[in-house]
Amino acid sequence: MTELGAGAEFDRLRAIFARLREQKADGELGDDCALVRLGGTTLAASVDLSLEGVHFRTDWLSFQEIGWRAAAAALSDLAAAGATPVGVLVSLGLPAGTGNRETGNVDPGTEIMEGVGAAARSVGAKVLGGDLVRSERYLVDVCVLGTANRPVRRRGARRGDGVWVTGTLGGAGLALARLQSGSRPDRDLWLRFAHPEPRIAAGRWLARRGAHAMIDLSDGLAADAGHVAAASRVAIEIELGQLPCWPGVVARDAAASGEEFELLVALPARFGDRNARAFTRATGLPLTRIGRCMQGAGVRVTEAGRSVPVPPGFDHFAPPAR
């Protein structure tokens, strides 16, 4: 079993994994994807659930955007494994009587699936099937399937590895803050929030160049780095001043922002700036070194060389703030 970082959500997962182990039913649990060897390749499979009121609001997003976002979040798990997408399976939960009051003659389920299909096509995948059920709230459950010649797991980071991140961080958190305050983000910021792009090409490029460990940033930088540290049994040090931040976002907020869907990757010490420039030429994305792997455990965040509190990540089962 792959070790997980801290948090109430992951305490619950550890309990589930332990029960499965008792039943001798577990495989390699705890990665972004299930990775199953099939002949000369590896099947990568993952499932990601988006629930109204937790992951999206219908007064903020169109149904097409809801579908795109849900599919992109699931496809991001394939990116973290260095996998090539094949297709998606989707289960939809739809409230009874929808389609008139909110959308006139538009059927929400059709609109959601249009968004899912667009996200799948953007990375060369197909919609393979799914299921429908009536539910109290909108629910989009996306299962993604892909293949990987050299799959990358969360475990595998080594002492001396550099810790790198794709793209820029903090845009999703800034967009959410503006929505919560009642203002509409500008176009670029809105696309970052409503139309995230799974980093499939980036993940495949990094896998081919010897990535030791990789994870997508869905719960926040420090929280997700904690999973890599736990799985790899190393300590990870991150320097806030090195973070590539979205314009107008300070580093501490960028480190705490969830649903970024960028990739955090541990790369060999020999991987340097020249390699990062080659990555940018190939993918159009920046690749920034933000830290290192060391002996020890956990995540240490520094600012100008001094330790600072680790920004919290998102935890579904954390006690509510008082």
Q: What is the DSSP track for 223-278?
A: HHHHHHHHHHT-EEEEEGGG--BPTT--HHHHHH------EEEEE-TT--HHHHHH
How far is 234 from 225, CA to CA, in rounded Å?
A: 11
- The predicted-structure confidence for 19-55, as pLDDT tens digits, reads as follows 656 544 444 656 778 999 998 899 999 999 999 999 9
Q: Which CATH architecture has domain 31-148?
A: 2-Layer Sandwich (3.30)
What's residue 32's pLDDT?
Answer: 78
CB 171 within 8 A of CB 260: yes
What's residue 101's pLDDT?
Answer: 47
The yes or no reply on domain 162-308 and CATH 3.90.650.10 is: yes
How far is 82 from 203, CA to CA, in rounded Å?
A: 4
Q: Give the count of beta carbons closer than 10 Å to the beta carbon of residue 56.
A: 20
- The predicted-structure confidence for 215-249, as pLDDT tens digits, reads as follows 999 989 999 999 999 999 999 999 999 999 999 99
Under DSSP, the state recorded for 107 is -
The neighbouring-strand residues paired with 289 are 164
- Give this prediction's pTM: 0.87
Q: What is the mean pLDDT of residues 178-195?
A: 95
What torsion do the CA atoms of 58, 194, 34, 209 make, to the nearest 10 degrees?
180
Residue 16, pLDDT above cutoff 80: no
What's residue 309's pLDDT?
Answer: 85
The alpha-helical segments, DSSP class H, found in the chain are 8-22, 63-80, 108-122, 171-180, 187-194, 200-208, 221-232, 251-256, 273-283
| Residue whose pair of structure tokens reads 């820029």 in the numeric block | 168
How far is 301 from 312, CA to CA, in rounded Å?
A: 12
Under DSSP, the state recorded for 312 is P
Residue 245: HSE in the Cβ half-sphere, 13 Å Cα cutoff: 18
Residue 267, pLDDT above cutoff 90: yes
Q: What residue ranges do the domains of the chain occupy? A: 31-148, 162-308
| Residue whose pair of structure tokens reads 């649903």 in the numeric block | 259
Token digits of residue 314 = 């998102």
C-alpha distance from residue 321 to each of 5, 9, 177, 315, 316 (Å): 21, 16, 17, 12, 12
Q: Which amino acid is at 202?
A: A
- The predicted-structure confidence for 69-110, as pLDDT tens digits, reads as follows 999 999 999 999 999 999 999 999 999 876 544 545 679 999
- The predicted-structure confidence for 122-139, as pLDDT tens digits, reads as follows 999 999 999 998 999 999
Look over the chain and give the mean of its residue pLDDT values, rounded to a whole number. Answer: 89
